[in-house]
A and B are shown apart, each in its own frame.
Chain A
Amino acid sequence: MSTTPLIVARGLVKRFGSFTAVDGIDVEVHRGESFGFLGPNGAGKSSTMRMIGCVSPRTDGELRIFDMDPATQGKQIRARIGVVPQADQLDEQLTVQDNLMLYGRYFDLPRAECRRRAAELLEFVQLTDRATSKIEPLSGGMKRRVTIARSLVNEPELLLLDEPTTGLDPQARHVLWDRLYRLKQRGVTLVLTTHYMDEAEQLCDRLVVMDGGRIVAEGSPRSLIEQHSTREVLELRYPAGTNEERAPDVAGIGDRSEVLPDRVLIYAHDGEAALAEVHARGSRPESALVRRSSLEDVFLRLTGRSLVD
Chain B
Amino acid sequence: MSTPAPIRVWESHFRLYRTIWRSNVMGAFVQPFLYLLGMGLGVGALVDRGSGSAELLDGLTYFQFLAPALIATSAMMVTSAEAMWPVLGGFKWQSGYHAAAATPLSPGEIATGVGLWHATKALIAGSGVAVALVFFDGTRSPGLPLAVLFGGLTGVAFSSAITAWTATRDEDRSFPTINRFVITPLFLFGGAFYPIDQLPEWLQWVAKATPLWHGVELTRNAVNEQLEWDSTAVHVGYLSLFVVLGWLSARRSFAKRLGR
Contacts and interface: CB of A to CB of B under 8 A. Distances in A.
B2 A108 contact: yes
Interface string A102-125: 110111101000000000000000
Contacts of B259: 55-57
A57 B256 CA distance: 11
A224 interface: no
Contacts of A90: 94, 99
Given A85-B102, A106-B9, A106-B100, 18 more contacts: A53-B102, A74-B106, A75-B106, A78-B103, A83-B102, A85-B99, A89-B94, A89-B98, A89-B99, A92-B94, A94-B15, A102-B11, A102-B12, A105-B3, A105-B12, A106-B12, A107-B103, A108-B2
Interface of A: 16, 53, 55-57, 74-76, 78-79, 81, 83, 85, 87, 89-94, 98, 101-103, 105-108, 110, 150, 154
B196 interface: no
A53 B102 CA distance: 7
B47 interface: no
Contacts of A76: 104
Interface in B72-91: none
Interface residues of B, number: 26
B258 interface: yes
A55 B12 contact: no
A222 B3 CA distance: 49
Could you say which of A79, A90, A92, A105 has the most chain B C-beta atoms within 10 Å of its C-beta? A105
Interface in B244-260: 258-260
Interface in B8-29: 8-9, 11-12, 15-16, 19
Contacts of A57: 259
Contacts of B2: 108
A50 to B, nearest CB: 8
A176 to B, nearest CB: 19
B1 interface: yes
A85 B96 CA distance: 11
B96 A91 contact: yes
